[in-house]
Amino acid sequence: QLFKGMGGAEYIASLLAGYTGETKEEAGTTFYENTAFPGGWISMAPPLSDEQVEFADGHANDVEAMSQDVAAFLMWTAEPKMMARKQAGFVGVLFLTLLSVMLYLTNKRLWAPHKGKH
């Protein structure tokens, strides 16, 4: 990773689901193989396991599905007002587009009589 925090929810989900089950011990520390972690080995034990949670609606409870859920929750907690910001930005872009069209048409109407005269 070039910058800290780059990758977002996709990186978090792949980190949580990327454990292979292989372990090694170095200097009294246990490392776990993780395909998503730079270098391939991480000292954090796998936090999720299959069928760890049971959903009433039959939602998948494998590591992949749970890692996606955890990543989505962490992204929401990091930016709870993101949807409101995106909606405000969309309204702003629509307003500016409408204003630009109106200004263009007004400009064309005001200057049309003067452009033909030299």
Q: What are the tens digits of pLDDT across the range 61-96?
A: 888 888 999 999 998 898 888 889 999 999 999 999
Q: Which fold has domain 1-80?
A: Cytochrome Bc1 Complex; Chain D, domain 2 (1.10.760)
Given a cut of 70, is residue 2 above it in pLDDT?
no
pLDDT grade, residue 59 (50/70/90)?
Answer: confident
* Residues paired with 42 in a beta bridge: 32
- Minimal CA–CA distance to 3: which of 73, 53, 13, 11? 11
3 state SS of 95:
helix
pLDDT of residue 54: 80
42: tokens are 């991480």
Higher pLDDT among residues 113 and 90, named by residue: 90
Q: Domains of the chain: which residue ranges? A: 1-80, 81-118
Higher pLDDT among residues 55 and 22, named by residue: 22
- Minimal CA–CA distance to 84: which of 76, 74, 96? 76
pLDDT of residue 7: 75
Q: Which tens digit of pLDDT belongs to each residue from 10-52?
A: 888 998 998 998 999 999 999 999 988 888 898 988 998 887 7
> Taking CA 64 as the corner, what is the angle to CA 31 and CA 35, rounded to the nearest 5 degrees?
35
pLDDT grade, residue 1 (50/70/90)?
Answer: very low
> What predicted TM-score, i.e. pTM, was given to this entire model?
0.62
